Structure 1
Amino acid sequence: MLKLEDTYLHKGKRKALVAELRKKGIKSERVLHAINTLPRHFFFDSALISHAYEDKAFPIGEGQTISQPYTVAFQTELLEVKPDDKVLEIGTGSGYQASILHLLGAQVYTIEYQKKLFEATQKFLKRLGIEMHLFYGDGTAGLPASAPYDKILVTAGAPIVPEALVQQLKVGGILVIPVGDRSLQTMVKIVKTGPNKIEREEFAGFAFVPLLGKDGWR
């Protein structure tokens, strides 16, 4: 079992990473503070742990990755998380992004499509003492039993914006989702301004693993 140690060296590397993210345009001090607080190396396999504070994505098994820190920060900043927001995350992965949301004070509901990854992350987050609502299933269908949500975050590349996610968003809520083909996506920020009305903003140039499920890639 990987020993969870957060040394001065790790903390120094996190501080340098935060400085790099700030230079790349991340402005939210709350998001930067969460990234500076959460030991990203805890979420890495021991063979890759020396790379934990590089601004890159790395594999975590089952064909999935832990997202690049800049991408995590960018998506989280777009989401505008407030304390006590009910946030649905599609694609739990390693649990790193969900843990950032948790540190921002959100009530986190997160769903993972890959069963082995779901089981491993569920055990790991319990070990860290991070409490959130974890589910196994098809995230493209959302999680209607706990809807509506203040914010919804999708952490895999989708071919379309699943209508179920828009429906499960509160009026005034925000959905952030990468949409495109299997290799390149545009980050889409959707603000639900009325029961059947949305505003949409787009940011090009992102690459995620494919979103799997009924309204994702099959």
Structure 2
Amino acid sequence: MSVDIVIAGETLQLLPQRALYWPARRTLMIADIHFGKAAAFRARGVPVPHGTTAQNLALIDTLLQAHAVEHIVFLGDFLHSRAVQNSASLHTLQQWRETHADLKLTLVRGNHDAHAGDPPAALEMDIVDEPFCIGPFACCHHPEPRAEGYVLAGHVHPVYRLAAGGDSLRLPCFLFGDGYAVLPSFGAFTGGYLVMPKEGERLFVAAEDAVFEVPLR
């Protein structure tokens, strides 16, 4: 169950898979996927799960099957570190790309991309610096208001704590403010930063199979 929200005169769909879909442009927006992060941790001797790259790509495939996507915009931090450039994760990415040759891919460089380096040309991605302007939106990595348009960004990996009767649950969330929105981290192994909405902002949490707005006082 997705949620529709109208921003800058355009209807956007907030998806429980922690992505945003813009039906009018058949565009999927994904923030902070961090391909190769788990592998980078394992290389340092930290025992973390295998298969996160395949898991992330399978989730993208689920969204491609559910929506008429022609264009994916990655809002920064596509690769986690330079070590990914010569890893099994990159080979998996290249195999996935070969099966989606007609799909347009755009990467808006984020802070991790600056260190990791651009993805190889074989992935056939358009790679740009922020802002990447499309319609009324400025696609960025860093969530800061810009004159070029309403900003859709990532970087923060926002999560919100729901509490009831002594129990609490941290869930990834979408945060919409005056001039910019922050998307949750899409990656399967990326963690989250607890956010506290300000007055006038709207917050939507992404549960397993639904998105719902949290009433804010």
User: TM-score scaled by structure 1?
Assistant: 0.37
Larger RCO (alpha carbons 8 Å, 6+ apart):
2
The structure with the largest helix share of the pair is 1
TM-score (ref. length: structure 2)? 0.37
Which structure is higher in strand share? 2
